[in-house]
Structure 1
Amino acid sequence: MNNIFRLYALPGALLLSLPAAAAKPDGDMALLDSLDRGLWQLRPTGGSAPTAKICLGKSASLAQIQHSGLACAQYVVRASANSLTISYTCEGHGQGLTIIRKETNRIIHIQSQGIRNNAPFSFSAEGRKIGPC
């Protein structure tokens, strides 16, 4: 009976490990590269936080808005034509998980949560390109 379990357990364990192996560090960020460059307005959804503006030059900065300007290790968890999930770690400053959903090259939706300055954060925002930087 133990041999039969081993025979079926090994392929099952290999199948469970496939999604983790499929995600690549610094993987496919084509969705971010397809966004229009320029000045973007980030309007929080479901809260009373103020509207923010970001000059989109380096598109990877959208993945770590709460850790802006820091050199963080980013890991693409899932990527498709219209959605991107990125996990990132900023050594000594915290980490986060961000989901970006693209409506058009000028409209996106961002959900992000993580730890910044030893405190949790969570936000949702709509991003719209509003002009040049």
Structure 2
Amino acid sequence: MKAISNRKMAALAAVTATVLAGPALAQASLAMLGTLDRGGWEVRYRDGSAPRNICVRSGQEFIQLRHSESGCNRFVVEDGKNQITVQYTCRGNGYGRTNIRKEGAGLVQIDSQGIADGRPFQFSAEARRTGACR
């Protein structure tokens, strides 16, 4: 068997590190959500559905509006300064893909679609901070 040169070994190590770092990079920080104002928010659906009030503590509450359970697996598709996209799977209860675009610390646009409770969903909404949590 032929010995591997130091140069080839370094290249192989770099490729391996890149492949192993891939999932870590894909699971980014979602820092944009941390810049949103904490407190009470009202989510207004564009299809005319009744508005929903939520208490925002981290901003991540907007990711799974149709899946309230914890423990869902998330994959960060986009992690930008003013926009994020997250795909998630809730074992036994479906999945979703949510895009959140920040217009200000107290205003975001949300588009989400997926399957919840065995039924498809799709919605566009605007969420605004309304004050303190109730």
What TM-score does the superposition give when structure 2 sets the normalisation length?
0.78
Following superposition, the deviation at residue 23 of structure 1 comes to: 7.8
2:72 and 2:59 map into 1 onto residues whose CA distance is: 14
Aligned to 1:30: 31
Cross-structure match for 2:127:
127
Which residue number corresponds to residue 40 of structure 2?
Answer: 39
- 1:50 deviates by 0.5
**Given residue 29 of structure 1, which amino acid in structure 2 is its aligned partner?**
L
Spell out structure 1 runs of 4+ moving beyond 2 A: 21-26
CA contact (8 A) 1:98 1:111 kept: yes
Between the aligned residues of both structures, percent identity stands at 39
1:70 partner SS: coil
Superposed, 1:1-133 pairs within 5 Å as 21=22, 24-45=25-46, 47-133=47-133
Structure 2 Cα separation of the partners of residues 103 and 22 of structure 1: 29
Q: Measure, in 1, the Cα distance between the counterparts of 2:39 and 2:74.
A: 23
The structure with the largest alpha-carbon Rg is: 2
Q: Any stretches of 5+ residues in structure 2 without a counterpart?
A: 1-18
Structure having the higher helix fraction is 1
Structure 1: unaligned runs, 5 residues or longer: 1-17
Q: Match of 2:10?
A: none
Structure 1: distance between partners of 2:68 and 2:129: 18
What SS does the aligned partner of 1:49 have?
coil
CA positional deviation for 1:79 = 1.3
Against the structure 1 CA distance between its residues 22 and 74, is the aligned structure 2 distance closer, same or farther, given a 3 Å change threshold?
closer
- Pairwise CA distance, 1:22: 7.5
TM-score (ref. length: structure 1)? 0.79
CA shift, 1:68, in A, is 1.4
Relative to 1, partners in 2 of residues 1:118 and 1:107: Cα closer, same or farther, differing over 3 Å?
Answer: same
